[in-house]
Amino acid sequence: MKTLLIHNATCIATFDHVEPAKGREIKDASLFVRGHRIEWMGPAAELPTALRAEADEVIDARGHLVTPGLVNTHHHMYQSLTRAIPGVQDAELFSWLRGLYPIWAGLTPEMVQVSTQVAMAELLMSGCTTSSDHLYIYPNGVRLEDAIEAAQKIGMRFVATRGSMSVGQSQGGLPPDRVVEKEDVILKDSQRLIETWHDASHGAMVQIALAPCSPFSVSPALMQQSAELARSFKGQGVRLHTHLAENDHDIAYSREKFNKTPTQYAQELGWLGDDVWHAHCVKLDDEGISLFAASRTGVAHCPCSNMRLASGIAPIRRMIDAGVPVGLGVDGSASNDGAHMVNEARQAMLLARVGRALSAPETLEGRTFFGCDLGPAEMTARDALHMATRGGAQVLGRQDIGHLAIGMCADLALFDLRTLGFAGGAVHDPLASLLLCASPQATCTVVNGRVVVRDGQLASVELGPLVERHNALAKTLAQAARSA
């Protein structure tokens, strides 16, 4: 097994405690990796001489902050092809989807492969080492393998979700009929993918989850049957994922079609539990938060997308305080227009602070103003980074990633504290300055013990030609939709 030494880091932030403020932050530290696991970590002065001599590769981490690899719990990577596309830049969720479904109907296998690599490159270069992806549209021969093979080539740890849509407009759903699938085909392919690709072992690089797209694009029967199929693989950790309670239209649809809130609907279908995570949950009410907490159902919080689509501000502090597992997601590149995980954590921190203020009207001397008990402490930098690392790992059901400790997977990111964005901040608090002062690219990103970003550049794929091909495909996709 190859060995790797991260040596003389200014600080290693471990997040090795369930409480964000209690994780160890080791100054002037080193970390030794054997194979895909962390074997030793501590002050550089205490590094055993034998390990120093044994290292196949030494990365000089002087002047750097080392964090656990960030974990992205929700994405639609193919949407990188329709970023900033005219016509839907200022639309809310349902109008946005109606405008984009006809374009996405032209997706090809190559488009999925290339867009997945572009999305993963952006994530990796921002320090993200693990990502889920929700691919729910399969036109023109597209398969989930197109995304899986892209992940293998670029070197990212991947939770590939077999998404699906089965209820088209003719049946009262939102998507056009031509982009939905038959439910028996969906279930058969779901089983095939689990049996072929899902890996439950320590350090697994590919896992499969089942992810019917949303209450407004699949039937109750498909939701139930997908849950039954995933849970039939007992002990294998096959998880369930969907969108839930994203905005007011989502709530209205559930009440009109099912006479239930989204959470009540999910509970009825068996879609609450510690093997389930839902994206967004912006409109989760008190009952919903209680049910999620009691069942340990996870949430993928997507602050940038929720702002971009004006969906609202998710009650994240209330969720966390209640015991709901919460991770971060960049969401689709067409509803965020970026996939920078450090920036996502920064937005989560800032949005929670302003969200708390806006939700707590108070009266003083006859005047109403907006304030809050916690103020800016509603969400600290360490809270947000905890969500982006350990929280995301919990949401994805992974106990081998998300924090740095002996025996954990060697997933980590290095950030150069000597760059402009950290000036005047890193000397006081290197970790907090990652969000308060900067939103930097990672100098180095390590996945499962393998260096995939080195000196700020991808190690496995040449970025220039990849972006050029991606842009050509994006134009082709849009032009085909206009001429259809």
Task: Express each pLDDT in 213-255 by its tens digit.
Answer: 998 899 999 999 999 999 999 999 999 999 999 999 889 989 9
Domains for the chain: give ranges and CATH numbers: 3-68+404-458 (2.30.40.10)
The pLDDT value given to residue 367: 52
pTM: 0.95
Residue 175: CA atoms inside 13 Å, Cβ hemisphere, count? 25
Six-digit token string for 177: 């009929």
Six-digit token string for 425: 């901040």
Mean pLDDT value of segment 254-259: 93
Task: Express each pLDDT in 55-105 by its tens digit.
Answer: 999 999 999 999 999 999 999 999 999 999 999 999 998 899 999 999 999
